[in-house]
Amino acid sequence: MAVTEQVPQNPESQTPVKKKDRTHWLYIMVIAAVILGAAVGLIFPELGKALKPLGTGFVALIKMIIAPVIFCTIVLGIGSIAKAATVGKVGGLALLYFMTMSTFALAIGLLVGNLIHPGEGLELKPYEAGGAGEENATVAFLLELIPGDLPVLPTLVLALIVGFALQSMGKSGEPVLNAVKSIQQVVFRIMMMIMWIAPIGAFGAIAAVVGATGWAAIGSMAILMGAFYATCAVFIVVILGTMLRLVTGLNIFALLKYLAREYLLIFSTSSSESALPRLIAKMEHAGVSKPVVGITVPTGYSFNLDGTAIYLTMSALFVSTAMNMPMNLGQQIGLLLFMIIASKGAAGVTGAGLATLAAGLQAHRPELLGGMGVIVGIDKFMSEARALTNFTGNAVATLLIGKWTKEIDMEQARAVLSGERPFDEQSMDPDAH
């Protein structure tokens, strides 16, 4: 998650002096590492293939953190559902809508993935440290230093049991939930530390796959990214746009124009969390009542992950096809059901998408984890589309739920989206929301 730290206030201006967010450097470094890795793989293919342990080691670190991430997010996610449901009609309607749309997005990702077969012909192989060479023995020793992963499905079941048990305890369970929340902060900090070495993992993984398959690897990754962006665009314009038109009569393109500044902010940070305060303010200005906005928007940030859902299923199919280990229909449906549960509660956290993808593969086809290194290299290229799709889904959901609950001023909404009543940017005081 992109975090902006605040330092003590300047006594003269009495306004917070903000440090510049450092995560943009991570984004730049990953892009540079991917380009450099592709160049090494093309020019020095044998060297590129020898760098594969770098990507393997990074994936092993991701595997190490899967179980703690799943446990904390599921336990707290169930707690969030309980809290959201207590607000009555708005909370229940929001949760039902978000779960339905996320499931629909996962299914769309599977459909597109099965149509285009991304990764076909790559025939990736997991790194094997066998052999008599001293170098391989050294690499094997270093990889064994990384703690092993915990079983994902038993962790998921345990998290569900603990979550429902704490939910049934009511107020007496709140101290435990707060403790889990503190543990989650530590887990996500570890995740962020791991993500800072993503450039090294991406460099090794891309160099290895390009060294082994040449331009075919670059073409396959480009197809996956292009298909993902196109799928997100179609989901926004066709699916969300149609629902918005049918329910409210509003135009999706007018809404996109109204949220243009927020899209620029999200694009620059690769996180929809950065635009949360502005979305709240703009939805209120568009005529949706404060209670509906106050319930729907925060709930949507945890449970309405349309872009992430599309990413998870398409990436899983890419890895299985690239490793020439395609998943049958039953395995794909099982993966979809797992992702519905596992993707909740980790919105906006850097690396959570990778961890959830790794968890799904670990639970259903552990042998596919060896091909995840390629996704590490191109994950950052897809993060903007994920964030923009998630953000748009939350905005549309707020308008829809406002209409369904009759808590929206449609005359104000039409005037705002048509540009007759522009949003007052001066109203966005840093502490307003």
CB 195, CB 351: distance < 8 Å: yes
Tokens matching residue 358? 């790794």
Residue 214 main-chain phi, psi, to 5 deg: 70, -140
**Confidence band of 12 (pLDDT split at 50, 70, 90):** very low
pLDDT of residue 82: 62
Q: Is 14 left (phi over 0), alpha (psi -120 to 50) or beta?
A: left
**Position with higher pLDDT, 177 vs 16:** 177
pLDDT of residue 133: 40
What is the distance, to the nearest Å, from the Cα of residue 317 to the centroid of all Cα atoms in its chain?
Answer: 17
Residue 347 main-chain phi, psi, to 5 deg: -65, 140
Highest mean pLDDT among 106-115, 117-126, 228-237: 228-237
**Position with higher pLDDT, 226 vs 371:** 226
The region of weakest confidence among 218-222, 265-269, 420-424 is 265-269
Range 22-427 classified under CATH 1.10.3860: yes
- The pLDDT tens digits of the residues spanning 199-252 come to 888 888 888 888 877 787 788 788 888 888 999 999 999 999 999 999 999 999
Average pLDDT value for residue range 92-120:
83
Element (H, E) at 280: helix 276-285
Tokens matching residue 246? 């049918």
pLDDT of residue 243: 93
| C-alpha closest to that of 289 among 401, 135, 208 | 401
pLDDT over threshold 60, residue 2: no
**Confidence band of 131 (pLDDT split at 50, 70, 90):** very low
The region of weakest confidence among 5-9, 50-54, 275-279, 281-285 is 5-9
End-to-end CA distance of the chain: 19
CB 350, CB 271: distance < 8 Å: yes
Say what the alpha-carbon torsion angle 384, 389, 392, 394 is, to the nearest 10 degrees: -110
Tokens matching residue 355? 């961890």
pLDDT of residue 21: 52
The region of weakest confidence among 166-170, 272-276, 320-324, 360-364 is 272-276
pLDDT over threshold 60, residue 78: yes
Q: Is 311 left (phi over 0), alpha (psi -120 to 50) or beta?
A: alpha
